[in-house]
Each structure stands twice: as structure tokens, then as C-alpha cells.
Amino acid sequence: MAEGDRISRLPDVLLSFILSFLSTKEAVATSTLSKRWESIWTKVPALNFSFNPSGSVHDFKAFVDRVLQCNDSPSLRLFQLSGLSKTQIRDYHYHSWIKNILRRDVDEIDLVHVGGILPAGTFSSKKLTVLKLFGLITPFQGSVHLPSLLILHLKFIAFTDNLPLKNILMSLPQLEELVLFECLGSRNMCICSSSLKRLEIVEEMVFPESKQNTIDCPRLEYLRINGSQFSEYVYGNMPSLTEARLHVGLGFTERYDVELISLLKHASNLKTLKLDIATKKPAPGYTEPDQRPLFLNLTHVIVDYDFSSTNCSNFSWRYLVLWILQCAPNIVSFDFSSKEGKYVKNIRLEGFPPRFGELLEFRQHLVNPEEYQPQLPAP
């Protein structure tokens, strides 16, 4: 060991922890540095494998097999595997790697395996807290035993009528975060969880024609629905919801204003609302009178308006925003921005109704004064 090589003098546990932030291929390569480093990589508590399409599948499989055989870390913080598809590796070989990892009390698993099919009962672990899956076909066949799972991300995953998402969530008693990205939903899709705090439905969820979809998560604190999706669900009360980000997409229905308000009425404690509007379909404007403010806790409203993909002569979405503000007597800030960088405006309202000058400026940017006169609630 060189006189000035202070890093090599560090204890094995610290060196292996440092190597855990490298890819496994890079960590193994450090074994050539000196005799001191020959076996450090075998104690690394994180394994990160990524197949390069220009490389040899045979060599990659042999490398993964060797690392799993030599790694003797008592527990793993992370196992990440990406780059392989079903056409490049047999399902049983892939499954053998997963079984090997699950026996080691791994904390997080992140798998990308397009078209892969895993046997029933694959995911069973008392310690696993984070699971991220991409491209697998019905990965939760049979029983699911993940009592400690906190975070579940599913991308391009299919659910079936025989194994609905509701049954999966019922077996995850501690789950706090669920992300669904372009998944294929079954009939009667039900996102029901008494523990879930964060839900993101990103891009399109594809449903069969016959559907009765439900979101019932009473402890939910954050909701993001990106894509023209929020009209596809029936909502339970969400008294804990404090932040919502909703996207009105290009393919949205004619009455997105009514459907959006139907959702918001289940979130009376909402504090922050962000609307991403990118639709060419006009809505007639929401006019239902309300006897009292609905959103006493709403303080921040953010509207991102995509001029490049919308009909700028349509003001119906602006009526919708005004309705929300009228039902929120404690608004602190309203932020409006456009994708083109024009009319970027931050309007801060100190209490409601605002001062005459603020309201005049507000209306100038939000609506055509000749078309709509807002009816403000009485002070």
C-alpha cells in the first residue's frame, strides 16, 4: 500500500459503502487497483446491473451470475437490473436472480424487463420497502407478501380481472406511495388503500370499455393525475389531501370543468392546486352556485396554460379558475404562466375579495371582461 494512499487505509465497511454508489461493473473493476482492493467489491451493499445493447448477452449473464455468487454482503440496500428484454433472457434465469436477491433482506428492487413473466408468488419479503417494476406482464401473480413495502412504482404493467390492483393493494398494509405510468387497467379498477399518502397516475391508464374505476384513499396527501384521466374515476372523500396536480390533456371531454370540480369537492382541505391545461376542446363554463366557500384551506393556485396546443379564443377554463378562487376565501397567491413565455404573471391576493386594482389586473389577464363578470362572495 502506497505511503500517501489514505483511501485504501479506510475500513472495508466504509470502502464498500463508497463503491455502492458506482455501477457494479465499475465496483468490480476496482479489484485491479491493488491487492488491498481485490475483494472489497464482494462486500458492496448495492448491486446495479445495466445491459449495454451493443454487448454480449452471454457475457452479461455470466457477469451477473458471478457477482451474485461472490457477493457476501449480509443485506442489500439496492438491487437494480435493466436493459434486458424477454427475447434476450429466459424467464427462469431472470427469476433465479430475483430469488437470490430476495433471500438477502434487500431494501429496494428496481427491475426493467420488457415482456417478462415471473412465476406466482415471486415477490415475498418481510424487509423490502421499495419496489419499482417496468414492462413486466402481470408481475403479481399468486400471493403477494410485502408487509413492509412503502413505495411501489409500476410502469407499463398490465393488471387483469383475475388479479385486480385492489387485491394487490390489500396485501400492502404499509404502502404510502404509488406511481402508475401507462399501465393497462382491468375492469372495475379500484385504487383503495387506508395507508396511501401519495398517488401519481402519469400518462394514460388504458381501460377496457366497461369500467367502474374508484380512488378511495382517505389518508392521501398528494395526488397527481397527468393525462385526461380524472373523469375516469369515482372518488371517495380525501380529507387529508393538501396538494393536487391535475392535467387537462388534449383528448379531454367536453365538460372537464364539471368533472374537475366533482373531484375537488372531495378534497375540502386542499392547500395547493396546480392545473396544467393543454386542451383544444372548449367547455361551457361552470356556473353551479354554491352557498358557502368549499376550499377554506386553499392558499395557492398555479395554472400552466399551453398556448401552442389550445384554442386561445376559448375562455371556459378561465371561468373554472375563477370559480375555484371564488370558493377559496383565503387565497394567498395565484400564478399564471404560459408555455411560450408570454403573459407570465404572478398575482398575489391578500385576502378575498382583493383590492379593486388587483382585481382589475387579475381579470385583464384571466378573462375577457366583456364576456364574464365574476360574482364574488360577500365579505
Average pLDDT along the chain, 379 residues, taken 10 residues at a time: 70 89 92 87 93 90 94 90 84 88 92 84 91 87 88 86 76 94 74 94 63 86 80 85 83 61 84 79 49 75 67 53 73 70 51 48 48 39
Residue type, 90: R
Contact 362, 345 (CB under 8 A): no
- Write the CB contacts of 252 (distance below 8 Å, at least 6 apart in sequence): 228, 231, 279, 281
Q: What is the structure's pLDDT at 182?
A: 84
DSSP per position, 59-113: HHHHHHHHHHHH---SS-SEEEEEEEETTTS-HHHHHHHHHHHHTTT-SEEEEEE
Q: What is the structure's pLDDT at 296?
A: 83
Q: What is the structure's pLDDT at 250?
A: 55
Q: What is the dihedral angle through the alpha carbons of 16, 21, 24, 29, rounded to the nearest 10 degrees?
A: -70
Q: What is the structure's pLDDT at 32?
A: 86
Where would I find the H helices in the chain?
A: 12-19, 24-29, 57-70, 91-102, 165-170, 256-264, 316-326, 356-366
Please tell me the number of Cα atoms within 13 Å of 252 on its side-chain side: 31
Residue type, 220: L
What global pTM score does this model have? Answer: 0.83
Three-state DSSP class for 238? coil
Three-state DSSP class for 328? coil
Q: What is the structure's pLDDT at 302?
A: 84
Q: What is the structure's pLDDT at 370?
A: 40
Please tell me the number of Cα atoms within 13 Å of 217 on its side-chain side: 27
Contact 113, 91 (CB under 8 A): no
Q: What is the structure's pLDDT at 206?
A: 59
User: Which residue from 180, 211, 174 is spatially nearest to 193, judged by alpha carbons?
Assistant: 174
Say which DSSP state 231 is in. Answer: G
Handedness of CA 320, 321, 322, 323 (dihedral sign): positive
Q: What is the structure's pLDDT at 372?
A: 37
Q: What is the structure's pLDDT at 25?
A: 92
